[in-house]
Amino acid sequence: MRTRIGTSVFWLCLAAAALAQDVHVTYNHAIDFTQFHTYAWGQMPKPSQVKNPKLAQEAQNQLNSTLAAKGLQMVALTAKPDLILTISGASQEKTFYSNYDPSGTVLTAGTDYGTPEQKLVGALVVDLYDSNAKKMVWRGTAIGVMNQKSFEKNKELVDKAISKMFDKFPYSPGM
C-alpha cells in the first residue's frame, strides 16, 4: 500500500513539474553590474518577436517597472544607454499525456494508455547587452504552459516569469 501511495505521489509531482513554469537566468559573473545605470529597448528580428501584441506590451511594461525598481533608468536608444534590452518569444502546440488510464488508475512508465491533450507551451527570452562592449551580459528564459482561453492568466504567467527572472538579477539598489 505504501509503495502504491509513494508511486502515486511521484507521478503527481512529475505531472506538476511538467506543467510548471521553468525559469533560468545566466549572466557574466565577472561583470560589475553597478556600472550600469541606463537602458534602452533594442529591436529583435521579426521571426522572434512575441506574437501576441497584448502579451508583448505586458512584458515590456513589466520589464520597465522591474528595471526601474532595480535602479536602471530607461533612455532613448540615441542617448547611448549602458544596456540594450531585447525580448523575444515563441509558442508551440505540444501533446501531453495524462498519467491515468480511462478507468482512473495511475499508469506506470512504459504503458501506452493515457489521454492525449494539446497544450500551448510558450517561451519568453529577455536579454541585456552591454552597449559599449557589444556583448550579452544577462539572459533570462521562461518556459511554461499557456492558457489558451484567458489573456489574464497568460498575463499573470508573464508577470511571474519576469519577477522570477529578476529575483536573480545580480544588482539591486542598496546592495
Instruction: Give residue-wise pLDDT tens across range 135-156.
Output: 999 999 998 887 777 778 888 9
Q: What pTM was computed for the model?
A: 0.74
Task: Give me the mean pLDDT over the 120-138 stretch.
Answer: 91
| Distance in angstroms (rounded) separating the CA atoms of residues 110 and 104 | 17
Write the burial class of residue 152 (CB in 10 Å: 0-12 exposed, 13-18 middle, 19+ buried): exposed
The DSSP H or E segment spanning 60 is helix 53-69
By CB neighbour count within 10 A (0-12 exposed, 13-18 middle, 19+ buried), where does 113 fall? middle
Q: Which three cell numbers stand for residue 91?
A: 509558442
pLDDT, residue 88, reads 86
Distance from C-alpha of 164 to C-alpha of 26, rounded to nearest angstrom: 13
For 20-52, where are the alpha helices, taking DSSP H only? none
At 8-49, the pLDDT tens digits run 333 333 333 344 689 999 999 999 999 999 999 997 655 456
Find where cell 533560468 sits.
24
Q: Domains in the chain and their CATH numbers?
A: 21-95+110-167 (3.30.160.670)
Helix (H, G, I), strand (E, B) or coil at 168: coil
Chain CA centroid to CA 92, Å: 14
